[in-house]
Structure 1
Amino acid sequence: MNILLVDDESYVTESLYQTIPWRELDIEEVYQASSALEAIDLLEEEDIDVVVTDVRMPVMTGLELMETITERWTHIRCILLTGYSDFEYAKQAIRLQASDYILKPVDDGEFMRSVSSALASIQEERKELGHYHQLMYNRKSDLGILRNSLMHDLLLGREMPRHSLDHKLHEYEIPLRTDQRTIMLLIQLGQRFTGMDDYSVGLMEYAIGNIAEEVFAELLHVWSCKTPHQGLILLAQLKKVPNAGNMETFADSRELKRYITQFQQDVGSYLKGSISVFVSGSFDFPGELGSVYRSGLSSLYLWGNGDHEAVRFAEDHDDRLHEPVWDVTQAFAKPPSLLHLLETRQWDAARDKIEQVFAEVETAFIGQTALYEIFLSVANAYMYLAHKQGHYIHQLDQTGWDLLYIQKVVQSAAKLRSWSLDMLNKLHDISSEQEITSKSHIIKQVQEMVTADSGHDLSVKTIADRVFLHPVYLSKIYKSETGEGLGDYIIRKRMERALYLLKHTNKKIYEITAELGYQNPQYFSKMFRKHYGMTPNEYRDQGCC
């Protein structure tokens, strides 16, 4: 904190400056003035918290200085110095709310106690002020939540007694009144806004609401809120001002469009983004609000994003309704379909398919309805594959299938594209893990069959039949996982068995041939020679057994 010492006798202020341990008092800067006028100049230039002034000074007295300070700098604490014990001075000091009244010559201890008391008073006031501001902030935040909740109830058609609504409008400091003609503005955000994270979008929506209230403040009472469907809504009623006319006339007027255009321009200037606005006709509030909102929402869903900065009135003829509708279903069903690519594990091609569709979205007239159709098409394909693999769809991503989260996903093509690709990656990961596990299980099954089988009727085809796979696909899997062909593996295991039988039994060659599943001894001998470089008889004759 900073202090200003004022006395026409400069030795007094200089003495205080030199002798008082200011740092112990948490004083950062000590300023000095030799007159009240010089003090005022310093007060205008510097941040002063405490003023210690002599009472009797030429031109302007200390009491007059204190009176000026009380009028212009209400936060400053004043301490009076005087060489006279005059009751009249004391009365004026009390009237001007002086922090203290000190007699000269100044005692350092008394002076320090007086300054400490003034500083403590300032700190207490600041603490209370901070607490007050926090309470006001909390109250404003609470009011915002309450207003939003009330708006949602009204928009979704919740019935409410009229007296209860009137009470809430008053309690929540909402300037609208029941049974008055009202207009509704639905605001669609452009891609600069919808591409932001949720926290940033919330800040932008709050700022847009404030801009609207400022722009329309001259003629309209405005209530702005976030809708249950991830948009912004403004309800407006005419103020009782001269030449305001009636709401029916104003709702159809060029003047309203001028205000809306100004609103859009201000959003662009201050927030660097664009918005489109749908304007309803006038209606009775709150009775017709629900139906007007649903009608406006339907119109808004047919639009593209808010980058076009359109202003459309409810009664306007919309030529876009007669334009050819972009066939979302055909986009994903066109061969090879997205579902086919997913079933055949062509992940890169599926990703390209999604990218291709969203590239078309960028150039087509796409409203929120079409975005929702895209979501349903993609989600249906993902759910089909997940269920086919024995998974519940929420195992991919719980948030990705939350209904409230989906509202945000279909807000813009960019968010929907990001969601589609993210879910595809998760589906790919879980499918790859399952495929690895499945292949390992198949290899184990095959090897157990070959090891356990005595050799009769054992072939790639018979094994493939037992594991319910095509022989070619089974051979491909086995080769890729083990590095050895399945047919070669079967022969190798037979030869190892033959070696064992030749070494550990006295069975004849033709008996071993039959046991291993070969039809004649000559073929068995040929295979044995190919594998070990000698016939079974040569093997026995050389004493290898």
Structure 2
Amino acid sequence: MYRAMLVDDENFDLVGMQKLIPWSSLEIDVVYSTSSSLAALDYVHNHEIDILITDIKMPVMSGIELARLALEVNPQLKTVFISGYQNFDFAKQALQLKADGYILKPIDDNEIISTLQEVVAGLSVRLHEKSDNALLNDFDFIRNDFLLHLLEGTIDEITLAAFLRKYPMDLPSGKAHAVIVEIDDVINKRGGSGEQEDLHHIYELLEAYISARQLGHICRLTPNRLGIIYLADPSSLQVELEGLLAEIRAKTDCTATVAYGRLADVNTELPVSYREAVYFISCKMFFGKDRVIDPGEARQFSIKSTKDVNTSLDELFQAITSYELVAICDVLEELFESVKKFAEPVKVYHFSRHLIARFEGYLKASGRNVPASAMEGWSEESLAYVEKFETIEEIKSWLRRRAFELSEMLHMSKQKSSWKLLSQIEFYVRTHLSRDITLKETAAHFAYSPNHFGVLFKEQTGMSFNDFVVQERMERAKKLLQSPSLKVYEVAEEVGYRSLTYFSRTFREMFGITPGEYRKQV
């Protein structure tokens, strides 16, 4: 077992790393963890450790300085940095210290596990000397970070020039396509170690394929998405991408979907091409997977955008809660009118399942007293049920019947007496989201015992008080994430989360995507 030390001044993040990472399976023993960089340095002076995992920005002594002093004591020490700030200067400092990993908060479990696997592999081999070229290969995370900044348009010309002087890359000032490769069905298989091996294998496979054919540069975007700056002949783009997908099919058990943006000037328009590719890959639900999504086809796609579908779902939910049966029919007709032109049944199923899954989220987030029997019709277990139908009309009829039943139940529940304080309690929660809101404290504020308060709240809303607080925090977070001036960690603090890791995990559990991914969609 290799000995590791964890250092993070945020106690929530520290505890999260201790409990959520499978240390034993990684052959790592966490021998010491602390929120004090000074205590960590003292431990290094008196004990032997193999791996230092530290936050960068900490009071008194930064993680960079801690690592620098620790390396003076143990030059063979492996270092992994964690940062809540997307600052390229931090990455450059990490490179100067010969870091073995650089991970941004909120921490993605898959990313840190993959990084630690590489660190352990490096410890097993114990390479003591590296040439300058090998050194660059060891710091693929810096190169990956650079390419990601280039695609997103968040790197300035001075930093770009400085990087290219130190690490020359074939990055001409001509034209390029931004390409996104998304590995299919990762969500359905999420969590297994075998999945991580598959993703790593696919990344290596694609990197070798792109390098051998001199197509451009590749970087990791998310655990299941890869970005490519395609620099080869634009006329061969479609053929090369089809060949790339064939390579994945032939040499792995997985499939992938590819989308690409316009041919753009590398220095000025590459981020525009990248944003187009991000949008087109989101159309996979409608066009199907294991294929190349053509931009022309996607641009002409007449189905509403994700934001428009959400707007229609808002209208549908409003009609249901207002007991407007005619409006329910109208909105469902509108949603399915465009679907009739789909040629492949699987696309209709994808669309229908998407509506059901999103509507379940509306029900859970509504804060209304939704009967349990009504929720069953929209639960996750019922998603597969839609695939039993053979026509769009059957699907639409099933959805209409479910919506009518729910509307009727909600209408009947409104006839019953309601808790007069409920609206005041909801207002109290919504105006104190940045604080630590507890059932005990809120019950005392309204002069109730905690037990009685909890029972009354559950009877009126259909959910526990704690679930309601989490729901309100997440809904508020969605609105705040639409403001580009706020950092993700600032949004987390605004809604009462001190731990970015816990905030990101809760957001993903509720909405199916991370806060960062949601921000890119809005």
Same fold (TM over 0.5): no
TM-score for the superposition, normalised by structure 2: 0.39
Larger Rg: 1
**Does 1 or 2 have the higher relative contact order (CA < 8 Å, sep 6+)?**
2
TM-score for the superposition, normalised by structure 1: 0.37
